[in-house]
Structure 1
């Protein structure tokens, strides 16, 4: 089959961009039967592809990353140009790696649309607070569901959420997992990179790490409050909180200003470090230096930062509202994100016990190793075969 791929989301540095780059790269390696054409509205979104990949660049008036914003800030002209390119009648099947960048298409080709989670549907005020943006989002997702011959999501947890929120036949929904990049692995005697040194991070510190966005549903106010409560105890006064994530060019609804103000008002400015975006080469070293990674979100469709941390040998405390209890199992500690005392207790327990962290490290490495992009690619190729055979 000849497959057209919407590659616009691959330009983004957040989870769905990492997902698109890793999955599509693995599919090219594994699929010997189908040919792929990658369509995008910015060259930076296809830098991950091999030089001989079939690529079409569509002109656009807005940066590609805005195409995947929950508010959907693409212009009608940009969407029409993408739609026209994707509607090429030579394609047998179209693949949208995320519904965020979905555009309506006018073709008889089979269509696979990925819906990573139902966070926007569960917490609309936190993700798409504007009335116009929310209407645009609902319309985009509804049209994607309507046009799709198959819906793909990233976990059984998300699949259950999709079935609960939308009227979709269970037979139309498939699960294709995720994995950490191979760069995330244990490093013997890690030393801070130049960038980490510039941030004031030292190898002998106890570090609580957060990796992700500064969106309201990430529950970071609870994390900062828990950090303050813990560091008020003498035994934990040396801890530092490292918050990793882009905050200057965030296209989703961001609480960064609120979190930064909370840190300042609580007198934690000397203990909390906002790193901004970190390349993987710096992030893997940070995770190896870390005492624990915390992902306290109200909901996660997958929770890739936790898997990357586990693969790097960093113990994980994560939300129960995610597939992570199924993916990482007993190798991590899970908390109810709406119960602040659980988070404080978990942080105290993990940061205070060298023995527990050693056990979590071993179990986490093993659990993360069971997740591979090769397996995910084969799952997606199998979905393509099933949809193409209809």
Structure 2
């Protein structure tokens, strides 16, 4: 079987940006920088196929071919298979058309199986039904960690010999200059605050941090929650918000870098994660990470991170307190984090993705489909 070209599913370009979309944009940029390698594999140049309503393609990327008459999930399931019918289709945001077989699809995690309460009933049910179909019909499944790959096997989404692991990169943050005005605007003092996510999903477990920061031991340290979730959303779930908590709302990468460079640490108490990009973003700029030993977080953080139990606020008080009172400990984990983060580059991820594409094309030409 010979493919006309590599076509990239651009449905995500019409949606609000998420962490998954960031990964897709970075990988697409990597493919664009390797156009010559892709040209050797296909008859025509690669491209992005997207609905007619999408925004522009990622900078330094491929041109967009807009087509179809539908939008959203219906476009992906009904229009996209027709538009890419002679191509090898690359889906980077968890889903792809169930009707397609000539496809490579990145599934970031198995959270809808592990913690369905983190999602609406309709969302979780849709994913729980679609993912196994995709996993068994598409030529290759990409996971972002060994943990995530194992969970996809555990829940019957894909067979182990069908999965390739491509870890996220993290060096994108270094491309942005720190916008330090945010530190002054929020009235924060260097190493007197902890950064975490403003996210109310159950598996993000931010309620544990709210309990930890209610402890008088951390009275002099603020908890800065970054992201869209508001205090009212946390209160609606029964959480009490200590006076030391600061909500930033949505911020850009330059502001995030400035916060991480000034923070005491980044706290990430998730009960499960398919990868865990925010801790590595902190590590990249020398911000120590305190993680729960859950999901892929031990795999990502290794010995360069500090760990505290996902169900014990007292452990978080103790670990954060140690970072605040022992400069040697802070310095050790700051340096270790920077070193660890260098293992996760987008260039390395791009090289692995190209290799997977190359092997899929070769296996289709030869008719021999083995594990790689």
TM-score band (shorter)? 0.7 to 0.9
Residue matched to 1:310: 283
- For 1:60 and 1:221, the matched residues in 2 are separated by 43
> 1:57 and 2:91 equivalent?
no
| TM-score normalised to structure 2 length | 0.86
Residue matched to 1:339: 312
> 1:326 and 2:302 equivalent?
no
- For 2:276 and 2:10, the matched residues in 1 are separated by 22
SS in 1 for 2:117: helix
- 8 Å contact kept, 1:9–1:16: no
> 1:197 and 2:204 equivalent?
no
Residue matched to 2:366: none
- Judged with a 3 Å threshold, the aligned counterparts in structure 2 of structure 1 residues 166 and 29 are, in CA distance, closer, same or farther, namely same
Deviation of the 1:79 alpha carbon: 4.1
**Alpha-carbon displacement from aligned partner over 1:348-372 (angstroms, at most 9, x marks no partner):** 2222322111111101001101211
- For 1:186 and 1:78, the matched residues in 2 are separated by 33
- Judged with a 3 Å threshold, the aligned counterparts in structure 2 of structure 1 residues 240 and 167 are, in CA distance, closer, same or farther, namely closer
Residue matched to 2:58: 48
- Structure 1: gaps of 5 or more residues: 68-73, 249-254
Residue matched to 1:70: none
| TM-score normalised to structure 1 length | 0.82
- 8 Å contact kept, 2:112–2:119: yes
Deviation of the 1:36 alpha carbon: 1.7
- For 1:218 and 1:326, the matched residues in 2 are separated by 17
**Alpha-carbon displacement from aligned partner over 1:216-246 (angstroms, at most 9, x marks no partner):** 11001111111112xx13xx32211110012
- Judged with a 3 Å threshold, the aligned counterparts in structure 2 of structure 1 residues 168 and 47 are, in CA distance, closer, same or farther, namely closer
Give the stretch that moved more between structures: 144-153 or 281-290. Answer: 144-153
> 1:20 and 2:7 equivalent?
no
- For 2:303 and 2:67, the matched residues in 1 are separated by 47
- Judged with a 3 Å threshold, the aligned counterparts in structure 2 of structure 1 residues 332 and 45 are, in CA distance, closer, same or farther, namely farther
- 8 Å contact kept, 2:144–2:275: yes
**Alpha-carbon displacement from aligned partner over 1:37-73 (angstroms, at most 9, x marks no partner):** 111226655431437x2311246776xxxx5xxxxxx
SS in 2 for 1:32: helix
- 8 Å contact kept, 1:157–1:301: yes
Q: 1:257 aligns with which of 233, 244, 252?
A: 233
Q: 2:139 aligns with which of 142, 146, 149?
A: 149
Describe how 1:222-233 pairs up with structure 2 within 5 A. 222-229=208-215, 232-233=216-217
- Judged with a 3 Å threshold, the aligned counterparts in structure 2 of structure 1 residues 37 and 259 are, in CA distance, closer, same or farther, namely farther
- 8 Å contact kept, 1:151–1:174: yes
Residue matched to 2:362: 389
- For 2:295 and 2:325, the matched residues in 1 are separated by 25
- For 1:334 and 1:247, the matched residues in 2 are separated by 25
- Judged with a 3 Å threshold, the aligned counterparts in structure 2 of structure 1 residues 205 and 309 are, in CA distance, closer, same or farther, namely closer
Deviation of the 1:342 alpha carbon: 2.5
- 8 Å contact kept, 1:86–1:105: no
Deviation of the 1:31 alpha carbon: 4.5
> 1:348 and 2:340 equivalent?
no
- 8 Å contact kept, 2:199–2:206: no
- For 2:12 and 2:28, the matched residues in 1 are separated by 11
- Structure 2: gaps of 5 or more residues: 39-44, 364-372
Q: 2:106 aligns with which of 105, 108, 114?
A: 114
Describe how 1:1-390 pairs up with structure 2 within 5 A. 2-10=5-13, 11-34=15-38, 35-41=45-51, 46-50=56-60, 53-58=62-67, 67=72, 74=73, 76=74, 79-87=77-85, 89=86, 91=87, 93-99=88-94, 101-106=95-100, 110-128=102-120, 130=121, 132-166=122-156, 168-184=158-174, 192-193=180-181, 195-198=182-185, 200-204=186-190, 206-211=192-197, 213-229=199-215, 232-233=216-217, 236-247=218-229, 257-259=233-235, 265-266=240-241, 268-269=242-243, 271-390=244-363
- For 1:54 and 1:178, the matched residues in 2 are separated by 24
- For 1:137 and 1:119, the matched residues in 2 are separated by 10
- 8 Å contact kept, 1:83–1:105: yes
- For 2:250 and 2:112, the matched residues in 1 are separated by 23
Aligned residues: 353
- 8 Å contact kept, 1:186–1:311: no
SS in 1 for 2:203: helix
Deviation of the 1:191 alpha carbon: 7.3
